[in-house]
Amino acid sequence: MKKWLLTVGLVFALTACGAADEPDEVVQSPTVDEETEAPATEHDDSEFIVAVIPSQSMGEMQTGLDNLEVHLSESLGRDVVVEQYPNYNAVVEAINYNHIDLAFLGPLTYLIAHEQSGAQAIITQEVDGSPYYYSYIITHADREWENLDDMLEDRAEVDFAFASISSTSGHLIPGLHLRQLGYYDSEDEHAFNQIQFAGSHDIVTTLVQDQTVDAGAVDSAILEALMKEDEANGGSLREDIKVLWQSEQLYQYPWVVPAQTSDELIAELQEAYAQIEDEEILRIFGGATRFVEADDSQYADVLEAAREFDMLTLQ
């Protein structure tokens, strides 16, 4: 079977589902007695720091990140540095304490920062004209299962792969659904033959395609990007993958600022992102077609799920 390697997709910077995706320690919320740095504003001449964390393995994204750095520097009229952070904990801590000015996060990780320090979602991206994506549970097309109920009938024999433990579509949403059905609580408490966290959506997809695992949970937008890339290389991924279950729609990954960020700077950032047409930038953020405004209210459904699953601290 043809092996393939991700070169596109949503790959933030070194965590949400990459090899460094497993958090090192739980981030503690800052207290009112702790000093934090003053938030950056549009009148601040210091460097503007953007943190990016991946939901996939790295692939070839450096050109897009370099182009984003140039575009934001020109739009904001100041030096912008786009940094790749090693894990979820690091970027949540950085945004909680105003050590960075903007971060690209998965919905669940953003909500952890929002709950801990009031971080705000201000921008997201549309893919093929839609700001929504889904969580999928997938299997190989050769399997006889036609839906999730069919798979669950054989659950005692199923090896199942989630992406990252802190992934919204790769764990929180499908994990909560399986929990509500009575088949999953944790990596150690479940009704399956085996549960594993593969680290990223593209790795889950590869494991399913190779039939190393029987089923797995992935981000629909990332899966589609992987399929398009694979097709361009003459692969068979689209034919090899079957979707057994689709979640309700989820709002796309947010760009997040610290709580104290001024309204003026937020407006500048929203305008700067709305003007992005560079294909290299759009390509590395889930194959985005454009960036649009977002706000905290659009992630209320994920917040409810995170509270129900007790996932508002990093694992």
The domains of the chain, with CATH numbers, are 19-130+252-308 (3.40.190.10), 132-250 (3.40.190.10)
Higher pLDDT, 168 or 283: 168
Where is average pLDDT lowest: 19-23, 66-70, 171-175, 241-245? 19-23
What's this model's pTM, rounded to 2 decimal places? Answer: 0.79
pLDDT value at 22 more than 50: no
Higher pLDDT, 154 or 41: 154
Question: What pLDDT is attached to residue 106?
Answer: 87
Q: Which two tokens stand for residue 226?
A: 């992987």
Where is average pLDDT lowest: 116-125, 257-266, 304-313? 304-313
pLDDT digits (tens, 9 = 90+) for 174-228: 999 999 999 999 999 999 999 999 988 999 999 999 999 999 999 998 899 899 8
| Residue in 203, 172, 285 with CA at minimum distance from that of residue 19 | 203
- Distance, in Å, from the CA atom of 123 to the CA atom of 266, rounded to the nearest integer, reads 9
Whether the Cβ atoms of residue 194 and residue 187 lie closer than 8 Å to each other: no
